[in-house]
Amino acid sequence: MFDLDGVLTQTAKVHDAAWKEMFDAFLRQRAQQTGEPFVPFDPVADYDEYVDGKPRADGTRSFLQSRGITLPEGNDDDPPSADTVHGLGNRKNEILQRRIHEDGVEPYEGSVRYVKAARDAGLRRAVVSSSANCRDVLIAAGIEDLFEERIDGVVAEREHLRGKPAPDAYLAGARAVNLPPSACAVFEDALAGVAAGRAGAFGFVVGVDRVGQTDALKQHGADIVVKDLGDLEEQP
């Protein structure tokens, strides 16, 4: 069970930049309207704590709550201009799609080697992501064909799966490959995702530390933490 952003592809930084662009514009406008000081979105602390690995609406809501801001929920199809939870989430997604189109997507080569080794060993492989753009990112990175199953934001909405740290998406991935969770390993870089793997009683949870949060990944339930999946090729 492989997470996408930050594990397979170098899109976590693109998501981070999109969140910051969206939230900073919103917070700056709100500061002008209310007279409150403008405190920008922290691309490290705020991203890791409130939005990384979560569905857009959950991440939006979580960060706003951290600032004591309450907005109407709105609906999934709210326009990006709407000052609602879903509107801000759609605004972030619009920025993300623009950045992916302009900058492209690069996979982590160590992860690609590892997934290919798993394929060659006859192991089942699923990608599990809260992103509704998962398929587009896989195609852009040239790795869509490495996975047999895909549980993403589109599937989560259709099947009413709760977002990470709830284990629903990973459990759906295990069902898709017809294996019990105890026979599956989860590969995650987000704290919420690692917690989801542990909550689902998966056989092994691998934390991928791209940003210097080894201790936090272990505290959230990772059995082992590596800098890159390529490092696992060197494990005994």
Active site residues: 3, 5
**41 Cβ contact list (under 8 Å, min separation 6):** 19, 20, 23, 24, 27, 47, 63
Which residue shows structure tokens 């060993």? Answer: 121
CA distance 45 to 31: 21
CA distance 6 to 152: 15
Helix (H) or strand (E) holding 173: helix 168-176
CA distance 85 to 56: 9
CA distance 22 to 218: 31
Structure tokens at 20: 């910051």
* Amino acid identity for residue 179 in this structure: L
